Each structure stands twice: as C-alpha cells, then as structure tokens.
Structure 1
Amino acid sequence: MKIHIIGCSGTGKTYLAKKLSNKYNILHYDLDNIYWDNSSQKYGIKTKVEKRDKLFQNILEKDDWIIEGIYYKWLEQSFKNADIIYILDLPKYIYKFRIIKRFIKRKLKLETGKKETLKSLLNLLKWTDKFQNEDMKEIVKFLEIYKEKVYFIKSKKEINKILEF
C-alpha cells in the first residue's frame, strides 16, 4: 500500500502517518526530513536538490510507504504511485493552536523537534495563511487528475474514522 498525506502545518499529517504506519505495518516518511538539512546547526537550511531527490527516489522504490508533508511541486511521481492521497484541510483555529502547542512542548523539552525560535514560530503562523489561501488551491488543482484516489479530511472525527480497525 502506498499512501500520500498532504496538508498545512498542524493539521495532523504526522499523527495520521504514524497511526496508519502502525495499523498497516508500513514505514512512514516525513518529507521535512529530506527537504530540510537537519544536520545543519542553523534552522531553515534546505537539503541540496540533488540529494533531496535521491532520498525521495529511494522512498518511492519501496514496495509500501506512507509519505507526508506540505510539498507537492516536486512530488508528481509520489502522487502518481500512491494508492490513496489524503488532503488534510482542517479549520485554521485548529492548526494554529496545534502549531503553538507543539512549539511550547518543544521549548519545554516535552517533545523533540526542530531548532525553532519565536521568530520562526511567528513566520510559520503567517506562512500557514498563505499556504491555505494559495497553495491549497494549487494542490487541489494539481491533484485533480488523481481525483479518484483523493480524499479530503476536514475534521479530527474523519481522521479517527480512517483509523478505525
């Protein structure tokens, strides 16, 4: 099984990917881990495109995968290969709250994560508006050719329904 999950930051992509990974015993991959250079000492450094694309190709060559992230422009093959594409499109107040909560948990060392700053949090919150208002429309248009395997998720209740055993 090949599943691609896409949506704004804070919509539950990683949560859904981890739960589906456990349910189906399939490895899941967070695209942030190949898009961003996590070995860099600075926050916000991108992986070189050639390396990113090679890492991505290695994932696609596997028999089963769950891929999750906000990206779409360089992922055509993933969408084409996917059996199911979930678009997480939750209300703004939910994902903004979750982003702030995640930031606080990381600062209190209750959760591991990226090297974020207050400035990066504010930039992310601002960026989510652009993503929802512009990128999400592009994503829906981009995925129109795969509409028979695209499922929109608009609530936590719908996520839970997918996860029922």
Structure 2
Amino acid sequence: MKTHIIGGSGTGKSYIAKQISKKYNIQHFDLDNIFWDNTVKTYGIKMPVEKRTEELSNILSKEDWIIEGVYYSWLLDSFKLSDKIFVLNISPLIFNFRIIKRFIKRKFGLEEGKKENIKSLKDLIIWTNNYQKFKIPKILEVLEPYRDKVIVIHNTKELYKYFMKIDK
C-alpha cells in the first residue's frame, strides 16, 4: 500500500497517517521532516534540494509507505507511485479549531512541537486558510493525470470509512 495524504495544517494529515500506519503496520513519513533541516538550531532552514530528493527517493523505493504533508510541486514521483492520494479539503472551522487547540497544548507542554508564539499562530491560521482556498484547487489540477486514484476528503470520518472498507 502506497498512500499519499495532502492537506493544510490542522486538516488531520499526521493524525490519520499515524492511525493508518499503526493499523496496517506501514511506515509513515511526514514531509516536513524532509523539507526542513531539523539538524540545525535555527528554525525555518530548508533542507538542501539534493538531500531532500535523496530522502524522498529512499522512501519511494520502499514496498509500502504513507507520505503526508502540505507540499506538492516536488512530489510528482510520489503521486505517480501512489496507490491512493487523499486530498484533505476540510472545513475552515475544523482546521482553525485544531490549529488553536494544538497551539494551546504545546504552550502547556501537553504536546511536543515547534516553539510557536501568538504571531506564528496567527500567521499559520492565515497561511492555512489561504492554502485551503487557493492551493487545494491548484493541487487538484496537478493531480488531474492521477484522478483515478485521487480521493477528496471533506472530513476525517470519510477517510476512516474508506479504510474500514478495505478490511472487508
């Protein structure tokens, strides 16, 4: 099973990828860990393109994988090799709530994550709203050649139902 999950922040990509990973015992990869250089102390440094390409190629060479993230322009090989591509087009009420909830959990040490502040929270909410409004339609255009394996999801329950059908 080769699955690609794409959507903005707070749409449930990481959560559902972890659930599917656990259920089917398939390794899950967060594209943020490939796109951003987490070995440096400064936040927001991109991984060199060559290194990112190499890491993605290593993932794609595996028999099974689940890849999730917001990116699309450098992932054409992933889309070609995917059995299914899930595009999470979730309601702004839901993803904005989740982004704020995650921020609060991180502030109180209930969840690990990036060191965010109110400005970065505001910026993320604006970015995600614009991503969902403007990038999702663009992503669907990019995915047009793979439309037979694209599934647009409007809520997490739809995704769960899809994976429940596989077991039957």
Instruction: State the TM-score bracket (shorter-chain normalisation).
Output: over 0.9
- Alignment match, 1:23: 23
Q: How far apart in 2 are the matches of 1:55 and 1:117?
A: 30
| Ranges in structure 2 where 5+ consecutive residues have no aligned partner | none
Distance 1:41 1:119, change over 3 A: farther
The answer as to whether partners of 1:42 and 1:115 remain within 8 angstroms in 2 is no
- Alignment match, 1:35: 35
Q: Normalized against structure 1, the TM-score is what? A: 0.95
- Alignment match, 2:136: 136
Q: Normalized against structure 2, the TM-score is what? A: 0.93
Percent identity between the two aligned chains: 55
CA RMSD of aligned residues (A): 1.2
Aligned residues: 165
Deviates more, 1:139-148 or 1:111-120: 111-120
Q: Deviations over 1:68-109 (max 9, x none)?
A: 000000000000000010011110010011011111111111
Q: Which one-letter code corresponds to 1:133 in the other structure?
A: K
Q: How far apart in 2 are the matches of 1:41 and 1:106?
A: 19
The answer as to whether partners of 1:4 and 1:85 remain within 8 angstroms in 2 is yes
Determine helix, strand or coil for the equivalent of 1:66. strand
Q: Deviations over 1:120-144 (max 9, x none)?
A: 2111111112211211111000001
Q: Equivalent residues in 2 for 1:9-158 (5 A)? A: 9-158=9-158
4+ residue runs over 6 A deviation: none
Q: Which one-letter code corresponds to 1:7 in the other structure?
A: G
CA shift, 1:163, in A, is 3.9
Q: How far apart in 1 are the matches of 2:162 and 2:116?
A: 31
